[in-house]
Amino acid sequence: MKKIISILLILIIGGWLITNNPFIKEKYTTNGHPFVYKGDLLLVNHDFPVKEEYIQKDIVNAHQSNYSNYYIVLSKDILISEHIKAPFEALMEQAYNDGISTFLVSSGFRSFVEQKKLYDQYGSKSALPAGYSEHNLGLSLDIGSSQGRMEDTIEGQWLAENVWQHGFIMRYPKNKTHITKIKYEPWHIRYVGLPHSILMQEKDLALEEYIEFLKTEQTVHTSVNGQDYIIEYYPSEQFSEDLLPENQTYTISGDNQSGIIVTTEA
């Protein structure tokens, strides 16, 4: 009898752990469709980590650029996803044409190993565990100024006003810390692509809010620079590749939760 009671207790405790431990829970309940964990709109924060097997494979050196004289790279080992290189260079070229060439690029893509080292060295107040940082995506950059703190300089003001035009967002703005759960970082930009960056700026939405907006709306029509777009949100269990448009340009991204977003040039 005692043996039976012990087995029942083990089963009950084990079930409670699976239900209430967020890491175990994720393992048992996260939808496994690979599209959910790829793309430019992945939400990465304290609750939704990067899945290491889906990290961008097109990582390149940000220093190797025809536009590198438009900004200063503090390390020759700063890496980014190749497909955001052209938008980033266009952003820096616009800054240069506007008279600003004193940006300091200090950080880009980090491997899980590098992120763990930072976390172990600086702790939770200054770093995030491996997988929970946007820098593990290859879609984010930290950009400072050689003239002072970003929040006090014209470089910081210019960046906040112009990143949206090139598909980037200010990921951790001052008025959204209660949502992002990350302190104000006027140096951290994140690529989400067009038209999403414009919509987020117009509606004053953090990425967390934008994903919820798309979930609620399901279908959004918008126009940017004369180009019409249709944005469609699908719960992953309702998504099929048969839903993808034929003979039209589109991008596809997961939300890193349970949804898939298809953006079509209409």
> What is the model's pLDDT at position 126?
83
Q: How many angstroms separate the CA atoms of 260 and 38, rounded? A: 9
> What is the model's pLDDT at position 20?
42
- As a whole number, mean pLDDT of residues 67-81 equals 76
> What is the model's pLDDT at position 127?
87
Residue 144's φ and ψ, nearest 5 degrees, are -105, -165
- In this predicted model, which residue has the larger pLDDT, 220 or 63? 220
pTM: 0.85
- In the predicted model, is pLDDT for residue 30 greater than 60? no
The boundaries of every CATH 3.30.1380.10 domain in the chain are 34-265
34-265 folds as: Muramoyl-pentapeptide Carboxypeptidase; domain 2 (3.30.1380)
The model's confidence at residue 192, banded by pLDDT at 50, 70 and 90, is very high
- In the predicted model, is pLDDT for residue 146 greater than 80? yes
Distance, first Cα to last Cα, the chain: 69
Name the residue among 58, 49, 53 with its Cα closest to residue 34: 53
The model's confidence at residue 57, banded by pLDDT at 50, 70 and 90, is confident
Choice among 185, 209, 212, 265 that is catalytic? 185
Residue 265 annotated as catalytic: no
